[in-house]
Structure 1
Amino acid sequence: MPAFPYSTTPTSTAVAVPPSLALPVIEAEFPRQLHAYWPRLQENTRRWLLEMRLMPADKVAEHVDGLRYTDLMAGYYLGAPDEVLQAIADYSAWFFVWDDRHDRDIVHGRPVAWRRLRRALHTALDSPRDHLHHQDTLVAGFADSVLRLYSFLPQTWNARFARHFHAVIEAYDREFRNRTEGVVPTVEEYLALRRLTFAHWIWTDLLEPSAGLELPDAVRKHPAYRRPALLSQEFAAWYNDLCSLPKEIAGDEVHNLGISLVTHEKMTLEQAIADLRRRVEECISQFLVAEQEGLRFADALEDGTLRGKEVSTAVRACLGNMRNWFSSVYWFHHESGRYRVDSWDDRSTPPYVNNETAGEK
């Protein structure tokens, strides 16, 4: 049966996971959960995308529910207050739309438009209130979602989030240049870049407003916390690479670990897929060990003080959601229309994107 047997989409059918992508350990050891707010989350994010004009109305009506963006977040940030989860889900949906705009700017040769957007996002990140009515709806939508995210925790958390996302924007710029020039990064270059383009530390930062507490630096940077956080994100990035490899080969992409392995390590495509799968499976096994170390760390934080109890409880909540990320990412890749390349009319052009070919404005 499907991971989510109920849905606000018109149909709900069992998802068959291809044997090459199946991970029995995820299906057996990482039970998928869903935030109780999810049905309203899906409806509200759909409405927000329309209100912000981030996607054409016909694309929203036809594709958004099937893309399952809200399922991904509702399966991750369990325990988050409803308004926190809504802000995260809207921001996540925005991120997917931004990723698609970035891709189309490359495909249609729009470097001036990309540079203008890059500058505007940097500025909006530091002063979102001033960009709520920006002429570019992508910038206005970003400002709206970021302003809401900034309302939950102290300014120190906001500054960290901004610092991390400035780095993500610059990583997208490096990806833009690589793709434009046809440069396939080496494996090590790619792994470093991927941690930024996948926004590892952004999704990890968002564990804290979900838990209702900004973690002290000494806790957040402790290896017992940082290692399971990184492993959960690496799993997601590399499993995404494994699942999206056909889509990205069809679209002449240069950013995929499999593509780097074929280009620079001289692997065959089959060897690269096997190597990707090995890395994914190692992430899972290493996480299971790191998770236990993290839980022992959380126990040690409970020192008899109220503050110690609060921090310990928050760390446990964050670790629990790092675990949830594995199952949420896994099922998302098999339920979302974002990766169903074989069902598209043109394997290089996703049907849910605005594929207008207008030149620079």
Structure 2
Amino acid sequence: MSVSNAAVTGSTTVSPRAKKIVLPNLVSHCTYQLRFNRHRKQVTTETKKWLFKDGNLMGKKRDAYHGLKCGLLTSMCYPDAAYPQLRVTNDFLTYLFHLDNLSDDMDNSGTLTTADEVLNSLYHPHAWRSSARVGKMTRDYYKRLILTASPGAQQRFIETFDFFFQSVTQQALDRAAGVIPDLESYIALRRDTSGCKPCWALIEYACNLDIPDEVMDHPTIRNLGEAANDLVTWSNDIFSYNVEQSKGDTHNMIPVVMNQEGIDLQSAVDFVGDMCKQSIDRFDEERSRLPSWGPEIDRQVDIYVDGLANWIVGSLHWSFETERYFGKTGRQVKASRVVELLPLRA
């Protein structure tokens, strides 16, 4: 079933193609404090120079960067980071969006080639030699990151970025085959295609944390990371659905739910919205169950968990500020929650 097929719910026939959707009210469900990093403007300016160096990104791609407002996202998600750490983090997030845009147009071999370049640059930042732009960018930010990141944060960053490339390779295969996975398989894959897990390692880096591996591997810490990942990722599927459906892209939870549950578009949006709200509730429940590892580790864990909460609230508000999902109407959509669907592209 494609997203444009008719669905029958009870005795009401849904038209083959809906004209609009109503978004769930996720912002009101999230009560965490939204804060901004004081280095936002400086970091945004420096990252722009870094990204555009040597004539990289021209025309529409350069315009899209300005509309992305990645510096705002980084500022909201890492509000307490010092300038050097915020700069590396903003460089990475900007580069990650660039990779995401590239992977949307990649086949399996293109994804593998990019993954090989990026991962070799991470595992061998001082020894790997390549003229590829993506490799140069990778080595540049990672050499700065390892100056102060703890060994555990470095390892988690590389491992989870490796998982990201494995998952986008599978996504490319599914896209080529026209496969819409079942919900359980999609969730497992999406937790890695989101790119959130390396961003969680950057919380450790940005806040100068050195949390023991056994603490980071504790089930409650893992569950908190998963709940935050689910909220950021599934809400992103709702917010990005309009643009993706216009391109016929089905790597999104909404068509997955429509296909599996046999429900219409708005019902699927509501279904995913409820899952998002449940993920916030799950985060709060897990947070109330945090054990103690002693004063110093507890202090660092609290900062890390606050960092996950910053990502939850920051990503929700940023989604209506960036032009990536709603163009220049984001604030209007935030107020009305009504999205007029784009026509399918030729």
Shared fold, TM over 0.5: yes
Whole-angstrom CA distance in 1 between matches of 2:244 and 2:168: 16
RMSD: 2.5
Equivalents in 1 of 2:106, 2:344: separation in Å? 14
What are the Cα deviations for residues 148-174 of structure 1, in whole angstroms up to 9, with x where unaligned?
222222444323321221111111111
Question: Given that residues 251 and 347 in structure 1 are in contact (C-alpha distance below 8 angstroms), is that contact kept between their aligned partners in structure 2?
Answer: no
Task: Give the letter aligned to residue 118 of structure 1.
Answer: A
Corresponding residue SS for 1:128:
coil
CA–CA distance in 2 between the matches of 1:179 and 1:192? 16
Q: Which runs of 4+ in 1 moved over 4 A?
A: 346-349
Q: CA distance change for structure 1 residues 52 and 236 in 2, over 3 Å: closer, same or farther? A: farther
Aligned residues of 1:41 and 1:70 also touching (Cα < 8 A): yes
Matched, 1:260 2:263: no
Decide whether the 8 Å contact of 1:26 with 1:326 is kept in 2.
Answer: no
- 1:357 aligns with none
Q: Aligned runs of 1:180-329 on 2, under 5 Å?
A: 180-294=176-290, 297=291, 300-302=292-294, 308-309=295-296, 311-329=297-315
Q: Supply the distance in 2 between the matched residues of 1:269 and 1:315 (Cα, whole angstroms).
A: 40
Aligned partner of residue 105 in structure 2, secondary structure:
helix
Query: d(CA) in 2 for partners of 1:202 and 1:53?
Result: 28
The answer to whether structure 1 residue 68 and structure 2 residue 69 are counterparts is yes
**SS state of the match for residue 208, structure 1?**
helix
1:267 CA displacement: 2.0
* Structure 1 gap segments, 5+ residues each: 1-17, 303-307, 350-361
In structure 2, C-alpha distance between the alignment counterparts of 1:55 and 1:26, rounded to whole Å: 37
2-side partners of 1:159 and 1:245: how far apart? 33
8 Å CA contact 1:87–1:149 kept in 2: the answer is yes
DSSP 3-state at the match of 1:214: coil
Q: Percent identity?
A: 19
- The aligned residue for residue 6 of structure 1 is none
Residue 121 in structure 1 maps to residue 111 in structure 2? no
Query: In structure 1, what residue type is equivalent to 2:251?
Result: H
Paired residues, number: 314
Moved more, 67-76 or 235-244: 67-76
Distance 2:211 2:343 in 1: 44
Aligned to 1:5: none
Tell me if the contact between 1:34 and 1:74 (Cα under 8 Å) persists in the aligned partners.
yes
Q: Please give the TM-score of this superposition, normalised by the length of structure 2.
A: 0.83
Question: Partners in 1 of 2:68 and 2:27 — Cα distance?
Answer: 24
Q: Is the 8 A contact 1:125 1:146 kept in 2?
A: yes
Q: Distance in 2 between matches of 1:49 and 1:119?
A: 21
Q: Following the alignment from structure 1 to structure 2, what is the Cα–Cα distance between the partners of residues 292 and 228?
A: 11
> After superposition, what is the alpha-carbon deviation per residue over 1:1-58, rounded to whole angstroms, capped at 9, x for unaligned?
xxxxxxxxxxxxxxxxx9624325346x222100111111111111111126542267
2:319 to 333, 336, 350: 333
Q: Deviations over 1:111-142 (max 9, x none)?
A: 544432232223222112345x7332122212
TM-score by length of 1: 0.80
Measured after TM superposition, the shift of residue 205 of structure 1 is 1.3
Alignment CA distance shift 1:155-1:316 (3 Å): closer
In the alignment, the residues of structure 1 paired with residue 74 and residue 133 of structure 2 have an alpha-carbon distance, to the nearest angstrom, of 23
* 8 A Cα contact 1:21 1:243, kept in partner: no
Quickly say closer, same or farther: Cα 1:40–1:274, change in 2 above 3 A: same
